Amino acid sequence: MLNPDDYIFIGIIGKTTKIDGSLTIVPLTTFPDRFMGMDEFFLTKENDSPMTLKVQNVVVGSKKITVKLEGVDSIEKANEMMGYRITIHKDEKADLPKDYYYHDDLKECTVFSSMGEELGKLVNILEMSSNDIYVVDYKGKELLVPAISQFVKEIDIEKRKITVSLINGMLPDED
């Protein structure tokens, strides 16, 4: 039996692009070029059995990613594939550049002030256009910390620890 906690989604199969069964990929990764190196896709979908399909061709363009999968040779067959998630085991995650982190690795990290005070656990990450916002459970209230160097001073994934520097008024119980 598959443990869902051991897998992550890196893309979703989108609509068809050609009568030969080619499909678009909606990437859920910051590194869409990773699809080009994949020989097969492990596909999952709610209430459907997982499946593995060989990749014939992937084209990563500036505006879209298209894939041709073995055995998907018609619009009808391609339409059946829409909505499937391209799934990988967590061990297959791409290496990230310095100071980049996977959201799943950050969640549940303990957040400390630069003075060493434990503030709470990081429970969510809001993806905004300019930068992410870390949501910390601070005494049952939400503490929102912009994920920028002005506030986030250190992240230690191995120790599950994030150190932040806050300004007056950021804590929910401050006036």
* Residue 36 in domain: yes
CATH (domain of 63): 2.40.30.60
Do 115 and 67 lie in one domain? The reply is: no
The pLDDT tens digits of the residues spanning 21-75 come to 999 999 988 788 889 989 999 999 988 888 999 999 999 988 889 999 999 999 9
Q: Which domain holds residue 81?
A: 4-92
Say how many CA atoms lie within 13 Å of 103 toward its Cβ.
15
Q: What is the pTM assigned to this prediction?
A: 0.68
Q: Which residue has the tokens 């434990």?
A: 118
* Residue 97 in domain: no
Q: 74-81 — which CB contacts under 8 Å span 24+ positions?
A: 74/19, 74/20, 74/21, 75/16, 75/19, 75/21, 77/21, 78/16, 78/21, 78/22, 78/23, 79/16, 81/13, 81/23, 81/43
The pLDDT tens digits of the residues spanning 136-172 come to 999 999 999 999 999 999 999 999 999 999 999 999 8
Of 33, 59, 92, the one marking the end of a domain is: 92
The sheet carrying 110-113 orders its strands as 141-146, 133-138, 118-126, 110-113, 161-164, 152-156
CATH (domain of 118): 2.30.30.240
Of 92, 118, 141, the one marking the end of a domain is: 92
For 142, residues 6+ apart whose C-beta sits below 8 A from its C-beta are: 135, 136, 172
* Residue 98 in domain: no
* pLDDT of amino acid 129: 87
